Amino acid sequence: MNCWNWFRSRRIRLRERRHRERELDREIEAHLELEAQEQEESGLRPDEARFAARRAFGNKAIVREDARAVWTAVWLERFARDVKYAARSLRKTPGFAVVAVLTLALGIGANTAIFSAINALMLQPLPFTAAEQLVRIYSIQKGMFNTFANPDGPSVLDVRDFAQRSRSFQKMVAYDTWPKNVSFGESAFQPEQMSVGLVPAAYFEILDIRPIIGRLFSEDENREGKNYVAAISAQLWRNRLDGDPSVLGRKIRINGEPYTIVAVMPDVIPPWVEPGRHSEIWTPFPYSPDMWSESGRGERGYAVLARLQPGVSLEHAQADLSVIAAALAAEHPVDQGVGVAVKRLADSRVGALRPMLYVLMGAVSLILLIACVNLANLLLARNSARQRELAVRAALGAGRGGLVRQLLVETLFLSLIGGAVGFACADVGLRVLARVHPENLPQLGSVGIDWRVLTFSLLVSLFTSLLFGLAPAFMGTRLNLVDALKQGGRSGTPGRSSQRVRSLLVITEMAMCLMLLVGASLLVRSLVRLQGQNLGIRQDHLLRGRIYLPPVRYSDPGVRTRFCDGFAARVRALPGVIEATVTTVYPPNNGWTQMLVIPGDPVTRIQDIPSAEFGVVDQHFLRTLGIPLIRGRDFAESDGATSPPVALISEEFKRRYFAKEDPIGRKIHVGPPRSLPVAAEENVTDDVDVEIIGVIGDFKNAGLALAPQPQITVLYSQNPLVNGGFKDIVIRTASEPHLVESETRSQLRALDSDLPLAEVQTIDELIERQVGGQRFTTVLLASFAAAGLALAVVGIYGVVSFLVAQRKQEMAVRMALGASRINVLWLVLKQALEMAAFGAVIGLFGAWAMQRLTSGLLYGISPVDPATFMGAVSFLLAIAAIASAIPAARVSLIDPAGSLRQD
């Protein structure tokens, strides 16, 4: 409200009230006079008459007060007075007020931020019509599907059969995304690598999304050759094509080929719906003719989206598809042991991050609990210290209602300030979350405060403060006035029951704090292990960039080899570059697994076929990455296109497949054995037979969390069949790697102006990105643990201070009777440590019980790691000891004589 208006309306009200009061006085005077007159007429003396009139009237002051209560809504006035009083009494104890407000703010803020985020990530309804009908379909190996960590997709043929044979679905579609070189406008070639969705029209139909302008792809356009049409997102349309109203019919170049824009789609598809990166361009999914031959059945990995028939449950659909999958496995050997899983689209949105979010949810709930316990403790301590004050006020005539109201207002006042500060904390927290969110949770970038969550946390803390703020008020007002006044501070020990409640609260706090500490230190240690491990290469000063040679202009493997060799040579010649290699292999992920035939080791079952991480490189691979050669020789320039193909294997490969013999000189067939029916994809490597020439050191090739897998590496120049368009360049630099970035780009442009250098990052940055989610969780959980610890410290400090104050007399007596200061100090400390230890033990059980929650997030450490548990316990006890030693020390400063004389 405007300050001036408020002031003016207040003055008007004041004037009005004065007027009313004068009127009432007139009325009363008139009444008394009339009454006195009547009494006189009935025979009394004038002074007697006046006295009788006043007696008949009653207490004038009370009448005035009551009448005034009628005019002004008196409760409002009382409320204002109570608020003023509350503010004053809080100002008098600033320590208590600040701690209580911060406690509340922390609890409310952390909860609001985290639960708002989780609500937005996991619980908010999807932006699609009848979204509960939308499901994803995954392929699973022998029931291994228990997390979203490693879902696989079915093959196009499986999807076709699922769709034809089942009755549970309205529509089903297989789709994919690929990074492609895209340039806008036909004249200026400034290509960049973008994620392009390969989707039939059914994809949009299932999601029930219609183009803003234009049309969906036709069935005919799903055929190879007819597929040169594209749909673009509205955002892309606005940002890159200036929202051109005549955009339909314009052409964009994808992988060097022109595509006609036929539709602009609304920006409603969340990024996580598409595999890989978020797509803003979609083209039809051109099924090549051989895709429909049976040889393609094993080519899995497609994303599948489907819409259930109305009224069909998820369980029903799952049962339906399981039967079909079993039938397919019986019909096709390649489908043996492959099952199917149907999952709601909504459940797939946070994917592998689900356990992390659960852990965070648990952690903030603990924080809110600790905050409430702390608040309860503070209020209890404060109010029992005020019992004397309350008693005095009751003795002076304050009714119980008044006292309760006073405490109520004070508590509400405190809660509201805490809520306001908490709101600010939540806001800041969400901004920070948006800033540091891991790359695989892009939704976090735009989360706002959820008002329901804020209200909930506010209500919880309000409830707590009312419960504990008012309980002593009732106790306080019930207490015998005389006793309370007489006792004052002189009482030997505080009331038993209130003390028990307080110790219980501290114990709870300690227990929850320990759980947080254990969780946080497990995560920290796990992150340190994950990041600190040896990748098997020299990790520093390495820059990575991706290129894609589109088949239109680079159809011939020989041309691809020449281009890559030429590019690498140009880069090597740049100043600041020590080495460079064109490769598909480097840590921490390889992502290309090949089946192999190792002569003399016949297999009869598909499951027994040996496999290894596979990749193609040039001759500079080992030198650039700094991988040691253990035996044999490195690739040499003499290993050319015409000489016999050679290969390097890793130590793990040797251990797995050549445990007893010397692998050097042995020949390996890359690809599945011809005797077994396996996927078509592998057929392209039919003729790749390589000779092992060397054994190299192991390096991380299956992600940071897994041990190095067997690795086999060959030269792309010698193996045209595996010499594809996707290649990466890895550069070892003398100084800061990004310094050579722009020079590298211009070298590539000089060779082909239509090729972008994509995802340029150092290996360090790549690793950092991989652990981003882990780091995110760890940092959050660690800060929650710190917050919980701070709260617990405040809690135990408060309780011990209170104990000391209460037992001052007792201590003085003990000291007067000869107890040493150390004895007395220990008496207090012991009590505090007992509470802490008891809480810690309960917390240990809690931490043990939550192992299922944390185990999914840990790397290289057990969720019940004894060292971590013991460490957390000793840390907590140490902190508790320090927090209680400070107030306990005050005991030993007591002057016994003075203390006993007091009061």
Partner 1 sequence: MTPKNSPSRTELLQGTLDMLILRTLLFGPAHGHQIARHIQRTTEDVLQVEHGSLYPALHRMERKGWLIAKWEMAKERNRELKYYRLTPAGKKQLVREESRWRQVAAAVGTVMAPVRGER
| Rounded least distance, CB 19 to partner 1, Å | 13
In angstroms, the Cα distances linking 756 to 180, 232, 246, 565, 570 are 9, 20, 28, 17, 16
Residue 245 preceded by cis peptide, ω within 30: no
Q: Which stretch binds partner 1 (CB under 8 A): 54-62, 328-336, 767-775, 883-891?
A: 54-62
What are the contacts of 385-389 at 24+ separation with CB within 8 A?
A: 385/802, 385/805, 386/476, 387/472, 387/476, 387/479, 387/484, 388/484, 388/485, 388/488, 388/489
DSSP code, position 695:
E
80 touches partner 1 by CB under 8 A: no
Number of residues lying near partner 1 (CB under 8 A):
31
Nearer to partner 1, 30 or 878 (CB): 30
Q: Which stretch binds partner 1 (CB under 8 A): 33-41, 142-150, 746-754, 865-873?
A: 33-41
| Contact (CB, 8 A) for 390 and 147 | no
60 touches partner 1 by CB under 8 A: yes
Nearer to partner 1, 40 or 743 (CB): 40
Antiparallel, parallel or unpaired: β 257-265 and 229-233: parallel
67 touches partner 1 by CB under 8 A: yes
DSSP secondary structure string for all residues of 564-593: HHHHHHHHHTSTTEEEEEEES--SSB---E
Q: Which residue from 59, 293, 742, 753 is in contact with partner 1, where contact means CB under 8 A? A: 59
| Rounded least distance, CB 409 to partner 1, Å | 15
707 touches partner 1 by CB under 8 A: no
β-bridge partners, 702: 589
395 touches partner 1 by CB under 8 A: no
Nearer to partner 1, 68 or 160 (CB): 68
Count the helices and strands in the chain (H runs, E runs).
26, 21
16 touches partner 1 by CB under 8 A: no
Tell me how far apart the alpha carbons of residues 672 and 679 are, in angstroms, rounded to a whole number.
Answer: 9
In angstroms, the Cα distances linking 150 to 108, 144, 147, 351, 357 are 36, 9, 7, 10, 18
Q: Which stretch binds partner 1 (CB under 8 A): 60-68, 205-213, 333-341, 758-766?
A: 60-68
Q: For residue 327, how many C-alpha atoms fall within 13 Å in the half-sphere facing its CB?
A: 11
Tell me how far apart the alpha carbons of residues 333 and 761 are, in angstroms, rounded to a whole number.
Answer: 42
Antiparallel, parallel or unpaired: β 758-762 and 577-583: unpaired
| Contact (CB, 8 A) for 506 and 380 | no
Q: Which residue from 14, 69, 849, 882 is in contact with partner 1, where contact means CB under 8 A? A: 69
| Type of residue found at 614 | F
633 touches partner 1 by CB under 8 A: no
66 touches partner 1 by CB under 8 A: yes
**Nearest residue to 238 (alpha-carbon basis) of 267, 211, 260, 214:** 267
Q: Which residue from 12, 56, 144, 750 is in contact with partner 1, where contact means CB under 8 A? A: 56
Nearer to partner 1, 53 or 229 (CB): 53
| Rounded least distance, CB 57 to partner 1, Å | 4
| Contact (CB, 8 A) for 213 and 134 | no
30 touches partner 1 by CB under 8 A: yes
Query: Which residues ranging from 324 to 353 are in contact with partner 1 (CB under 8 A)?
Result: none
Q: Which residue from 14, 34, 330, 559 is in contact with partner 1, where contact means CB under 8 A? A: 34
Tell me how far apart the alpha carbons of residues 342 and 174 are, in angstroms, rounded to a whole number.
Answer: 14
Q: Which residue from 87, 398, 721, 877 is in contact with partner 1, where contact means CB under 8 A? A: 398
Tell me how far apart the alpha carbons of residues 159 and 379 are, in angstroms, rounded to a whole number.
Answer: 63
| Rounded least distance, CB 47 to partner 1, Å | 19
| Six-digit token string for 185 | 């406008």
Query: Which residues ranging from 292 to 321 are in contact with partner 1 (CB under 8 A)?
Result: none
Q: Which stretch binds partner 1 (CB under 8 A): 123-131, 393-401, 751-759, 769-777?
A: 393-401
Nearer to partner 1, 78 or 388 (CB): 78
| Rounded least distance, CB 50 to partner 1, Å | 14
How many residues make up the chain in this entry? 903
Q: Which residues contact 575 (CB under 8 A, 6 or more apart)?
A: none
Query: Which residues ranging from 857 to 886 are in contact with partner 1 (CB under 8 A)?
Result: none
Q: Which residue from 214, 275, 402, 677 is in contact with partner 1, where contact means CB under 8 A? A: 402
Q: Which residue from 43, 289, 397, 600 is in contact with partner 1, where contact means CB under 8 A? A: 397
Q: Which stretch binds partner 1 (CB under 8 A): 64-72, 148-156, 370-378, 527-535?
A: 64-72
| Six-digit token string for 645 | 């193909």
| Type of residue found at 69 | A
71 touches partner 1 by CB under 8 A: yes
Judged by the rule CB under 8 A, the positions of this chain that interact with partner 1 are 23-24, 26-28, 30-31, 34-35, 38, 56-63, 65-67, 69-71, 74, 78, 396-399, 402
